[in-house]
Amino acid sequence: MLQGYTYIKGLGFGGFGKVILAREEISGRLVAIKSLNDKKNLSIDNIKHEIQILSRFYHPHIVIYHNTIETPDGLHFVMEYCEGGSFQKRMKEKNLSQSKVLKIILTIAKALKFVHDQNIIHHDIKPANILFDKEETVKLADFGVANTLGFTKLYLPPIISDYTAFVSDKRHDIYSLGITTIELLNRQHPFTGLSNEQIIKKLKTGDLGISHFPDWLQEIIFTATHINENARFQTIDDFIEAIENNNIAYEIDEKLIEAAKLSKRLKWLQSQKKYYTASRELPFYDKSLLKYPILRHQVGLYYLKTNQVTKAKNTFEELRSDHGILKTSKELAIINIELGYYSRAINFLKEHLLTKPDDPEGYNLLLECYFYLKRYNTGSKLCHQLIKTFPKEACFKTNIYLFDRLNSHAPHETDQKYQYTTNKFILLNRDIFHQSHSIINPNKKDNLLKKLIFCHYDLTKNPKYNDTLEISQNGKVINLPPNSIITIGRKDFNNIIELSGINVSRKHCAIIPLKKETWLYDLDSTGTFIDNQKVQNRVLLTHKHEIDIGQHSLTINVDKNKLF
């Protein structure tokens, strides 16, 4: 036993050593003593330095370090004793509500910010290291360089394969805190018993067992635990802000877009064999842009093509350390949007936009997620940014109306701003807003959102209307107004094609007849059937179709000049 302390009982043990409860003989206070046995593999000076830094400061939610003692048989830390035990032992408590867990997680995150501000990394965030004192004050324990040997692999990103050469990165703490949040809310670790490869697969597909969490919380956890550290929260401050606001603000990285443009130009120069021009431009690249993989990769290809082997080797070795980003992330995002898993879709889109930051369709998909998650303020801010960044993209100028209208405390003022618009999507959505009191079913969840039409990117790339579209009923061709979105619904509700019957919704569906593609959108109706198949959300019309609405049947031919 250490001189000056009286042993009371053991508190825990592991590969690092042991923790005991003791009484300090001079003061009489109870203390916990953690002993690290393997001095040979420890950086003693670094450990002492970090503990000395922390011991100088007081933080109400960090376990106090009283003393560090070095003996021939090991290194010993004398710490505050937290008799309330660890969160690990409390996880099964019935009164552990989601709000209580998140309040504790937020407290730990703020304590972690204090640690990070001292340029110290915890290395071992987990429920067992979240303690409670006798007043039930939550405390963060067991951190510092000492944990480079004592960390728990299950709480670290799976891409860290060489644990003995563990490189310090504050974002690893954020990942661990995200995994800890899942474990505390679900009462079990999401990856127990899984191999490294299985964990990577679950992280890539977003299969973390959190689909029952609120959407905003899912997005926060997906971001905190992202397999690519560049798509993760970059600082603990970002994590704290997201938890406090129940929201993650999305800011356009202008430099990333600039890097993407340079990458595209460099790729074009190489395709045109203009290597001399590339060699003249490359030295003038803003060095801060070369941190982005999208540009570094293209620069590496240039070095390789021009046989600058050493430069190519250095560039690709740096890139190799970055874990590969899914090339299918955009497609997976679209699939999840169609399935209604918007938080998971956001996770894939952020991943996609890291490699394709100049993709306006990717940003529009992100806006679609915000629209259906009712994050109108976030969507409005992003949409205004995108209009400035991509001034030629019509989808943003169209969808800004939806966000501004839904986010406004004075919707009539928003409508006045657009009173002279000729945009067909805005005109249709404005009409739906004006009729909402009579066409919305209050018993159907989100009925208004599903009546409104969010303008997809592809609809604005070929805006010419289809003048060969033909719709008939009982063999009689219906006269259609030119260059219009065709609404179908019950009589007396301002529809182009009016049908009768209680099985026809007041705004039932809408047809967007463009020259190169014609779409039918179901407006959360009582049921729209195309060729005997019920429409879910929207469907592409490609030839001659039979449409069934209530007791009515319509024939729609996307090109009356062709025989289908």
pLDDT at 354: 86
pLDDT at 541: 87
In a domain, 328, yes or no: no
99 and 233 together in one domain: yes
Confidence of residue 426 (pLDDT cuts 50, 70, 90): very high
129 and 211 together in one domain: yes
Q: Is the pLDDT of residue 123 over 60?
A: yes
424 and 513 together in one domain: no
Domain termination residue (choose one: 30, 61, 80)? 80
- Count CB atoms within 10 A of the CB of residue 85: 13
Q: What range does the domain containing 407 cover? A: 344-439
92 and 222 together in one domain: yes
Q: Is the pLDDT of residue 348 over 80?
A: yes
User: Mean pLDDT over residues 362-389, rounded?
Assistant: 96
Least confident of 119-133, 419-433, 495-509: 119-133
Q: Is the pLDDT of residue 199 over 90?
A: yes
Alpha carbon distances (Å) from 477 to 146, 200, 496, 544, 563:
80, 56, 14, 14, 16
Domain termination residue (choose one: 56, 80, 104)? 80
Q: Is the pLDDT of residue 165 over 60?
A: no
Q: Which residues pair with 522 in a beta bridge?
A: 509
Confidence of residue 41 (pLDDT cuts 50, 70, 90): low
Q: Which of 86-100, 241-255, 371-385 has the highest mean pLDDT?
A: 371-385
99 and 229 together in one domain: yes
Least confident of 77-86, 302-311, 366-375, 410-419: 302-311
499 and 520 together in one domain: yes
Q: Is the pLDDT of residue 321 over 60?
A: no
- By the 8 A CB rule, do 72 and 37 touch? no
Is residue 112 packed enough to be buried (19+ CB in 10 Å), middle (13-18) or exposed (0-12)?
buried
Q: What angle do CA 400, 402, 405 make, to 5 degrees?
A: 100
In a domain, 235, yes or no: yes
In a domain, 447, yes or no: no
Q: Is the pLDDT of residue 147 over 60?
A: no
* Strand-pair category, 65-71 with 74-80: antiparallel
- By the 8 A CB rule, do 426 and 398 touch? yes
122 and 166 together in one domain: yes
- Tally of domains in the chain: 5
CA dist., res. 196 & res. 192, Å (int): 11
HEC per residue, 143-172: CCCCHHHHCCHHHCCCCCCCHHHCCCCHHH
Is residue 146 packed enough to be buried (19+ CB in 10 Å), middle (13-18) or exposed (0-12)?
buried
CA dist., res. 347 & res. 373, Å (int): 14
pLDDT at 124: 85
| Per-residue b or e along 326-346, where b marks 16 or more CB atoms closer than 10 Å to that residue's CB | beebbebbbebbeeebbbbbb
Q: Of how many residues is the chain composed?
A: 564
Confidence of residue 433 (pLDDT cuts 50, 70, 90): very high
pLDDT at 323: 40
User: Mean pLDDT over residues 18-45, rounded?
Assistant: 81
User: Mean pLDDT over residues 503-512, rounded?
Assistant: 95
pLDDT at 274: 83
CA dist., res. 48 & res. 54, Å (int): 10
CA dist., res. 366 & res. 386, Å (int): 11
Nearest to 219 by CA among 247, 241, 191: 247
pLDDT at 23: 95
Of the chain, the percentage scoring pLDDT greater than 70 comes to 91
Q: Is the pLDDT of residue 326 over 80?
A: no
Check which CATH number belongs to the domain holding 162 and give it: 1.10.510.10
pLDDT at 14: 60
Confidence of residue 164 (pLDDT cuts 50, 70, 90): very low
Residue ranges of alpha helices (H) inside 321-446 are: 329-339, 342-355, 360-372, 376-389, 394-407, 411-417, 424-434, 436-439
Binding-site residues sit at 34
Contacts of 198 (CB under 8 A, 6+ apart): 191
In a domain, 118, yes or no: yes
In a domain, 331, yes or no: no
- By the 8 A CB rule, do 414 and 406 touch? no
Give SS3 for 186. helix
CA dist., res. 471 & res. 546, Å (int): 10
pLDDT at 473: 95
Contacts of 415 (CB under 8 A, 6+ apart): 405, 430, 433, 434
In a domain, 531, yes or no: yes
111 and 195 together in one domain: yes
Residue ranges of alpha helices (H) inside 92-213 are: 98-117, 147-150, 170-186, 196-205
Q: Which two tokens stand for residue 518?
A: 């014609």
User: Mean pLDDT over residues 533-551, rounded?
Assistant: 91
Give SS3 for 527. coil
pLDDT at 226: 93
User: Mean pLDDT over residues 4-21, rounded?
Assistant: 83
Give SS3 for 65. strand
Question: Greater confidence, 162 or 532?
Answer: 532
284 and 222 together in one domain: no
42 and 127 together in one domain: no
Q: Is the pLDDT of residue 427 over 90?
A: yes
- By the 8 A CB rule, do 197 and 161 touch? no
* Strand-pair category, 486-490 with 497-499: parallel
Alpha carbon distances (Å) from 112 to 60, 82, 218:
12, 18, 21
Per-residue DSSP letter, 478? P
500 and 553 together in one domain: yes
Confidence of residue 543 (pLDDT cuts 50, 70, 90): confident
User: Mean pLDDT over residues 380-385, rounded?
Assistant: 95
215 and 357 together in one domain: no
Confidence of residue 167 (pLDDT cuts 50, 70, 90): low
Binding-site residues for ATP sit at 34
Q: Is the pLDDT of residue 42 over 60?
A: no
Q: Residue 200: phi, psi to the nearest 5?
A: -60, -45
In a domain, 457, yes or no: no
Domain termination residue (choose one: 245, 270, 287)? 245
Question: Greater confidence, 275 or 128?
Answer: 128
| Per-residue b or e along 517-544, where b marks 16 or more CB atoms closer than 10 Å to that residue's CB | bbbbbbbbbeebebeeeebeebbebeeb
In a domain, 159, yes or no: yes
Check which CATH number belongs to the domain holding 60 and give it: 3.30.200.20
Least confident of 16-20, 395-399, 481-485, 489-493: 16-20
The 10s digit of each residue's pLDDT in 442-471 is: 888 888 999 999 999 989 987 789 999 999
User: Mean pLDDT over residues 486-505, rounded?
Assistant: 94
Q: Is the pLDDT of residue 197 over 80?
A: yes
Q: Is the pLDDT of residue 17 over 90?
A: no
Nearest to 449 by CA among 342, 333, 554: 342
